[in-house]
């Protein structure tokens, strides 16, 4: 570690790693500090008995941005992966996203015309014209059957409250696909990193100084003194001790289970849409990897949504008017820092990012910084 750097980057997740790579390649000296004992942030993976385990839930890299696709391929090898999750409701299996396979399982409809007619009949029966909550919004979009079996329970588990108490703005649209194509994403590229996403982050940070197990917020003066500018990818409210109030998140608990059997659900992801099942989905990691070794064991992750508490995993920002206003107040505080101070990443920007969007935002920010 040097005595001084051009940039201090707080956070060794995907956004921090891309920023570090870009600034370093432009000739700037960079120090990355990370509060966890390893790099990768939410996309971190681990290797268990030859199986790549997604430590914070399933991640599939999908994008239609050619620039981003070419960029990540400079730092890792990928293999194509088609995300075709299933939904389980009271023991019944349905294809996701909602497509002709789903509609056939629900109603026996075989053509797009038959399925459209059935959905329109259900919507007309409910006659919701001005939805006042999420339940009414979903029924207005897809009718009651799809809502009751595939939306209601899952959504209530995600948000921790009944759908008729949630804002209709949470669900602006529910895609209906009148084909038998089970591919969840419509992007040009959909892939997994060979060896796991931690490999991508490791390669991005190659040759860059990284200090782990470092609680930056508790020792800001010490670390800020080492650099001319700071890029912060952590929780912006905690940066200031939540003195203006705490930004709200939904959290997830990930329980990893090892089974002494070669296969459990024969699919990478199965959502559980029944409200009485406490978890929202089970991920079986071996099914992400076509090169996964034939072992006598398999690894599963059960996901349990919960209210965010300090120290928990902050997964989804609650993007309502109250939190947006509070976030803007914290942003104003960063503008008064004595050194150039930039916010980045899903936590720093208080946004939900797909991986390609996170990378594009980091590339754009690095370009903006280097122009100064």
How do the domains of the chain map onto residue ranges?
A: 5-39+205-246+318-370, 97-170
Mean pLDDT of all residues in the chain? 96
* Chain segment 84-117, per-residue pLDDT in tens: 999 999 999 999 999 999 999 999 999 999 999 9
CA distance 109 to 119: 11
pLDDT digits (tens, 9 = 90+) for 44-73: 999 999 999 999 999 999 999 999 999 999
pLDDT at 311 over 90: no
**Residue 74 catalytic?**
no
Active site residue 177: yes
Q: What is the pLDDT of residue 320?
A: 87
Catalytically annotated residue among 173, 276, 310, 321: 173
- Has residue 242 got a pLDDT over 90? yes
CA of 247: how far to CAs of 233, 241, 326, 349, in Å?
15, 11, 7, 12
21, 250, 286, 346: which is the annotated catalytic residue?
250
Q: Which of 219, 243, 352, 368 is catalytic?
A: 352
pLDDT bin (cut points 50, 70, 90) of residue 372 is confident
pLDDT band at 38 (very low <50, low <70, confident <90, very high): very high
Q: Is 161 an active-site residue?
A: no
Report the C-alpha gap between 34 and 170 in whole angstroms.
Answer: 32
* Structure-block tokens of residue 72: 């990540």
Q: Among all chains, which residue has been given the structure tokens 């960029």?
A: 71
Examine the residue annotation and report whether 25 is marked as an active-site residue of this protein. Answer: no
pLDDT of residue 310: 86
**220 a catalytic residue:** no
Q: How confident is the model at residue 335 (pLDDT cuts 50, 70, 90)?
A: very high
pLDDT above 90: percentage of residues in the chain: 94
28 as an active site residue: the answer is no
Q: Is 351 a catalytic residue?
A: no
- CA dist 80 and 289 (Å) reads 9
**Which of 37-41, 149-153, 311-315, 330-334 shows the lowest per-residue confidence on average (mean pLDDT)?**
311-315
- Which tokens hold the place of 154? 């899952």
CB–CB of 236/229 below 8 Å? Answer: no
> Domain spanning 5-39+205-246+318-370: which superfamily?
NAD(P)-binding Rossmann-like Domain (3.40.50.720)
Active-site position among 136, 237, 303, 356: 303
281, 284, 286, 289: the active-site residue? 281
């Amino acid at each position: 570690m040097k005595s001084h750097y051009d940039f201090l980057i707080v956070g060794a997740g995907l956004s921090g790693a891309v920023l570090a790579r870009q600034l370093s390649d432009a000739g700037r000296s960079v120090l990355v500090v990370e509060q966890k004992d390893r790099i990768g942030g939410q996309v971190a993976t681990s290797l268990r008995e030859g199986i790549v385990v997604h430590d914070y839930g399933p991640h599939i890299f999908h994008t239609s941005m050619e620039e981003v696709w070419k960029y990540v391929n400079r730092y890792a090898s990928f293999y194509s992966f088609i995300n075709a999750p299933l939904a389980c409701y009271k023991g019944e299996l349905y294809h996701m996203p909602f497509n002709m396979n789903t509609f056939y399982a629900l109603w026996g409809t075989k053509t797009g015309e038959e399925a459209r007619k059935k959905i329109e009949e259900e919507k007309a029966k409910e006659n919701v014209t001005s939805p006042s909550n999420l339940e009414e919004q979903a029924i207005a979009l897809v009718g009651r059957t799809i809502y009751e079996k595939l939306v209601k329970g899952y959504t209530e588990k995600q948000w921790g409250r009944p759908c008729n108490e949630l804002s209709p703005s949470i669900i602006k649209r529910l895609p209906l696909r009148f084909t038998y194509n089970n591919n969840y994403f419509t992007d040009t590229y959909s892939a997994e990193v060979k060896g796991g996403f931690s490999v991508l982050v490791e390669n991005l940070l190659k040759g860059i100084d990284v200090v782990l197990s470092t609680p930056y917020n508790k020792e800001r003066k010490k670390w800020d003194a080492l650099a001319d500018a700071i890029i912060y990818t952590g929780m912006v409210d905690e940066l200031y001790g939540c003195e203006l109030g705490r930004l709200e998140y939904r959290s997830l608990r990930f329980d990893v289970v090892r089974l002494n059997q070669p296969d459990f659900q024969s699919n990478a992801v199965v959502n559980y849409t029944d409200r009485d099942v406490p978890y929202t989905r089970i991920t079986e990691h071996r099914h992400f990897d076509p090169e996964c070794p034939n072992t006598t064991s398999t690894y599963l992750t059960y996901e349990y949504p919960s209210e965010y508490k300090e120290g928990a995993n902050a997964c989804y920002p609650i993007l309502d008017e109250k939190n947006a206003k509070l976030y803007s107040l914290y942003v104003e505080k960063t503008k008064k820092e004595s050194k150039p101070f930039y916010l980045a990443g899903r936590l720093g920007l208080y946004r939900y990012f797909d991986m390609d969007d996170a990378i594009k935002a980091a590339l754009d920010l690095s370009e903006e910084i280097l122009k100064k």
